[in-house]
């Protein structure tokens, strides 16, 4: 598969995955871009042991986790206030709230639900996260319950 096709096929899904991790439009855009730079650089090493989508989602997840680790080391509060100001984007309020709720989940749950929302097969999610398929099914059910509860509490 050539890079341009991969990019067109997966850009939106990878961006939304990144958005689920960081809940920040600009950072998510940067992370998605970095993911595709890595895909471009390593495409010749892809060995078809898993689907190309699974491979790309794994790269994106790892990339997002690295970003989250960086943010833990350099909290935003240490940045000048004009840099940390949140920009407003025209996302629907429900979608914004969903991203906010997802961003509050523990890391593994964030990965799992973000991949689930991108219609990644549960078997592939299991491979990406390193858990059994049965465990993934249970976790997805619990995460959806948590998110439903947050939506109910917030009208």
Which pLDDT does position 108 carry in this prediction?
84
Domain count, the chain: 1
Per the structure, the complete domain to which residue 119 belongs is given by 3-153
Q: Tokens in use for 129?
A: 């996260």
- Spans of the chain, pLDDT less than 70: 72-91
Which pLDDT does position 37 carry in this prediction?
94
Which pLDDT does position 5 carry in this prediction?
93
CATH number at residue 55: 1.20.140
Handedness of CA 77, 79, 80, 84 (dihedral sign): negative
Which pLDDT does position 91 carry in this prediction?
62
**Over the stretch 92-119, which tens digit does the pLDDT of each residue have?**
778 788 888 888 888 889 889 988 988 8
CA distance 85 to 94: 21
């Amino acid at each position: 598969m050539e890079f341009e096709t991969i990019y067109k096929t997966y850009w939106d899904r990878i961006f939304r995955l990144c958005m689920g991790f960081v809940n920040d439009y600009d950072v998510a855009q940067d992370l998605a871009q970095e993911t595709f730079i890595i895909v471009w650089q390593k495409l010749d090493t892809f060995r078809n042991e898993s689907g190309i989508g699974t491979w790309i989602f794994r790269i994106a997840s790892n990339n997002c986790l690295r970003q989250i680790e960086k943010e833990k080391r350099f909290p935003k509060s240490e940045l000048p206030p004009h840099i940390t100001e949140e920009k407003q984007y025209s996302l629907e309020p429900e979608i914004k709230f969903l991203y906010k709720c997802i961003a509050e989940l523990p890391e593994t749950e964030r990965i799992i639900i973000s991949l689930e929302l991108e219609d990644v097969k549960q078997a592939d999610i299991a491979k990406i996260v390193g858990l059994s398929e049965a465990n993934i099914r249970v976790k997805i059910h619990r995460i959806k319950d948590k998110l439903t509860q947050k939506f109910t509490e917030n009208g």
